[in-house]
Structure 1
Amino acid sequence: MAAYPHVADWIRDFESRYGSRPIYYGPLDRDAKKTRPYNLIYLAKEPIFIHIYEPPEDDEGNGGQILWFGLEPQLSEEEENMRRELVETLLQEAPTAPTFTTDGEFENILTQMIERYSVLESEVGVTPRRQGRLWEMVGMDDKRVVVDTEQRERLKYIIIRDLIKNGPLEPLLSDEMLEDIHSVGLKHIHMDHKVFGMVTSNIRFREREMLSRYLRAMSERIGRPVSDNKPIIDGALLDGSRINIIFSDDVSMLGPSFTIRKFAEETISIIQLIKWGTISSQVAAYIWICLEYGMSVLVSGETASGKTTTLNAILPFIDHNVKIYSAEDTPEVKVRHKIWQRLVTRDSKNEESRVEMFDLLKAALRSRPRYIIIGEIRGVEGATAFQAMQTGHPVIATFHASSIVKMIQRFTGDPINVPIRFFDNLNFAIFQEVVEAPGGGIARRVTGIDEVIGYNKHSDGVLTRGMFEWDPVKDKHYF
């Protein structure tokens, strides 16, 4: 850990305080759950490391809480003053800086400017404390700060983190082992961990004004500004993660809150789902045949069951030479096809400029796509989706229902109101759940696939047939 002084300092302080030394685990896997009591460190993304610690029970039996510590470079009081000086200089010089079109270009420009306006001690032979006196003696109004090599790297990290990336949430969003991030008011932030379940972080907002300012800035960056007049927004972060913000105190009683649903930066392939046991190779082959022949399918399950991940993984089964049309509230669908018409809804106070899911699906019927992909069916757009199926446009969508019976009940009831005799336009449905993994932790499994045979007018119901079932005892899929 010599290359990461902030980690070495943390380990030394932790050992002196708690009397135990964490181990470096390396790439985290599900076997880490067997190392109880937990006291391990793993790399998230350089220079960020994560420390997982399970405190022992006290005399009153309090215990069982798993702590998550994000270890990142920290600034001393002196370095914080340097940071303020540097940021002020960067803002003054920004009008003359080169233009940029991507965050990557912005980061490169910012790095060059930080190096330009910070000078190493070894180059001038002066410490930061003597810096101002030196410039004054030689009659220079120099904007540079004198730093050593480690200080410059820390300053780079903090300034880029705050100006380009995710500020204090950067350690959370850098940890690929986290799934959901929950923040309520000024309390410590909690997360769903892929291996350790619910964990409590060392990250929190200590002042209401700081939290409000952060959420306003984040919502503006993603194009969904939040305010007291519009206190609830949904959007997507730059890495594709989904965020829900509830801003106003009269709505969120404990203060502004937010939830982030993290998504992998790279699309998870069908091969990976097979390796993880989410589906079997036989199930994948069945889905492949169905999509190759233009079948309509719903990927259904409860919250956080992995519906969108599975939807993205099966899209490559569609012919790559056809047009794909996607309609979403929050952009999550990732299509690799050459002809991809990607549309998202637009919220607006002005009703005439508002674009809802219903509008996007009506437009899809005039665009002649081979497949219509709907991020999630929630309301009246479900009826339009079935109309698209009736007119010969295959549809793939996600939906919240845990079984074929509940799916039919939801579609035929308010507010979707699809006539039950239209339901046979859907060809099959995939059902997915969150389950306990065989080695501990949590896992996702396709628990069943049902085909829709047709509408039975005698019983006024829908005939279905189970094609695959998942056996939780053997953790296998059966045809």
Structure 2
Amino acid sequence: MEDEELKFQRGDLDSVMAAHPHVALWVKDFEAKYGSRPYYYGPLDRDARKIQPMNLIYITKEPIFVHMYRPVDADGSEGQTLWFGLEPQLTDEEENIRRTLIEVLLQEAPSAPSFTTDDEFENILSGMIDRYTILDSEARNATRRQGRMWEVLGMDDKRIIVTKEQRDRLRYIIIRDLIRNGPLEPLLSDEMLEDIHSVGLKHVHMDHKVFGMVTSNIRFRERDLLARYLRAMSERIGRPVSDNKPIIDGALLDGSRINIIFSDDVSMLGPSFTIRKFAEETISVTQLIKWGTMSAQVAAYIWICLEYGMSVLVSGETASGKTTTLNAILPFIDHNVKIYSAEDTPEVKVRHKIWQRLVTRDSKNEESRVEMFDLLKAALRSRPRYIIIGEIRGVEGATAFQAMQTGHPVIATFHASSIVKMIQRFTGDPINVPIRFFDNLNFAIFQEVVEAPGGGIARRI
């Protein structure tokens, strides 16, 4: 992001437009329609909410930009906040070239080099795109084998003539659709988004860290397209969705958590999904102190507790930042000990060298199914220093307290907004932990969402 900030200085929208034709086209159309020009902000920060009226463009991951706009009515009242994802678009001619290239790439895939990571796959795919296209400037000066004779011999030049700008756009779209996140790429590239909500064919809505709830220009226009996309995404993350199993939870490749509700008879307005985005890098305790989420004294207290092997629950309401806080405090544990984590969806980020990371496994076959309860039973035989549970929801809560009783400290997240509600949930169905067992829990952290000074939201312990 630092390189991008140096490349385009704040306020210099002209340079952005010169480097990115799709941004230039968007700005010109916007000016013609609304009579105002957006301000280029650069990488977004929380001070951006001070800019009024709201009409700014910020960079996420080049070549993707975001335009934030809040229209003002004639009476001075403000409308809903709009989020426009700006990414390269293909013309009809370029779309035909894309289809042809995809066919060629699929034909050549068996002979392509093997790969183990998405980055390697991206480099291979990018090289193949270069190999099967030729720039118009090169084509004018090259002797190309074309014609029926060369075609019969299988030696004709099949490269497609494109401009440099066309090749860049084609490269972006092909890699976006085959490796990354397809039409959701602009959303998932924006680190300022917390939750992404899609219901049927409606426009996607998001919870923004700076501007609150916003409405995007991204939507699925056909149910079949939406259904195919969700099937492909669920298969990619190893949790295939279907009419027989319409609800699944999983993790995307970047660590974001996704919940899909697929079947029309369950999700009445059409297939829907929610994505909880997580920062690419773990947020540190010092950053939480800087934001005011916790005080330095609270952080020091947690440090002492974890250093001496005490059990803790990080509790709060939905989207209160429980997992973020849990990940931030894990470095307080001695780095020379074994950590054992058990999760439904992999969200915990542990920096320790000895980390046994396990996740549950769904299966129609009961013998093949691995549930949280099974993982926690296995933990008791693994001799970890700490057992980390991504989230306690059901009967595994009783096993967590049994682990505490046997001398295995536990760290977990839990949905409850107060100590009273936490005890009520633990002692009731389906967890059923006897209240006399609660002295095994050393302390709990309660986190909540509050309105931040100057607008927006903040998390507080």
2:105 is the alignment partner of 1:94 = no
> In the alignment, which residue of structure 1 is the partner of 2:25?
9
Q: 2:322 aligns with which of 296, 307, 318?
A: 307
2:360 is the alignment partner of 1:349 = no
Aligned residue for 1:74, secondary structure, equals coil
Q: 2:43 aligns with which of 27, 36, 45?
A: 27
2:287 is the alignment partner of 1:276 = no
CA contact (8 A) 1:126 1:146 kept: no
More moved, 333-342 vs 29-38: 29-38
CA contact (8 A) 1:30 1:439 kept: no
Q: 1:205 aligns with which of 213, 220, 224?
A: 220
> In the alignment, which residue of structure 1 is the partner of 2:7?
none
Q: 2:80 aligns with which of 55, 65, 69?
A: 65
More moved, 138-147 vs 286-295: 138-147
How far did residue 137 of structure 1 move? 7.2
> In the alignment, which residue of structure 2 is the partner of 1:46?
62
How far did residue 34 of structure 1 move? 1.7
How far did residue 27 of structure 1 move? 2.0
Q: Which has the higher strand share?
A: 1
How far did residue 281 of structure 1 move? 1.0
Cα distance in 2, alignment partners of residues 62 and 361 from structure 1: 54
Cα distance in 1, alignment partners of residues 175 and 450 from structure 2: 39
Aligned residue for 1:424, secondary structure, equals helix
> In the alignment, which residue of structure 2 is the partner of 1:169?
184
Cα distance in 2, alignment partners of residues 64 and 142 from structure 1: 55
> In the alignment, which residue of structure 2 is the partner of 1:267?
282
Q: Deviations over 1:152-172 (max 9, x none)?
A: 000000000000000000000
Cα distance in 2, alignment partners of residues 14 and 3 from structure 1: 18
Aligned residue for 1:408, secondary structure, equals helix
Cα distance in 1, alignment partners of residues 28 and 423 from structure 2: 58
CA contact (8 A) 1:181 1:190 kept: yes
How far did residue 126 of structure 1 move? 8.6
> In the alignment, which residue of structure 2 is the partner of 1:147?
162
Aligned residue for 1:353, secondary structure, equals coil
Aligned residue for 2:146, secondary structure, equals helix
Pairs within 5 Å for 1:76-475: 76-125=91-140, 135-136=146-147, 139-140=150-151, 141-446=156-461
Q: Deviations over 1:193-219 (max 9, x none)?
A: 001100000000001110000000000
Q: Deviations over 1:290-335 (max 9, x none)?
A: 0000000000000000000000000000001111000000000000
Q: Deviations over 1:243-288 (max 9, x none)?
A: 0000000000000000000001111111111111111111110000
Cα distance in 1, alignment partners of residues 158 and 397 from structure 2: 60
How far did residue 37 of structure 1 move? 2.1
How far did residue 135 of structure 1 move? 3.2
Query: Structure 1's 138 and 22: CA in aligned 2 closer, same or farther, altered over 3 A?
Result: farther
Cα distance in 2, alignment partners of residues 126 and 218 from structure 1: 44
Cα distance in 1, alignment partners of residues 55 and 146 from structure 2: 49
- The TM-score with structure 2 as length reference comes to 0.93
In structure 1, list runs of 5 or more residues that go unmatched.
447-479
In structure 2, list runs of 5 or more residues that go unmatched.
1-15
CA contact (8 A) 1:436 1:443 kept: yes
Identity %: 85
Aligned residues: 441
Cα distance in 2, alignment partners of residues 442 and 142 from structure 1: 58
Query: Structure 1's 428 and 144: CA in aligned 2 closer, same or farther, altered over 3 A?
Result: same
CA contact (8 A) 1:361 1:381 kept: yes
CA contact (8 A) 1:31 1:439 kept: no
- The TM-score with structure 1 as length reference comes to 0.90
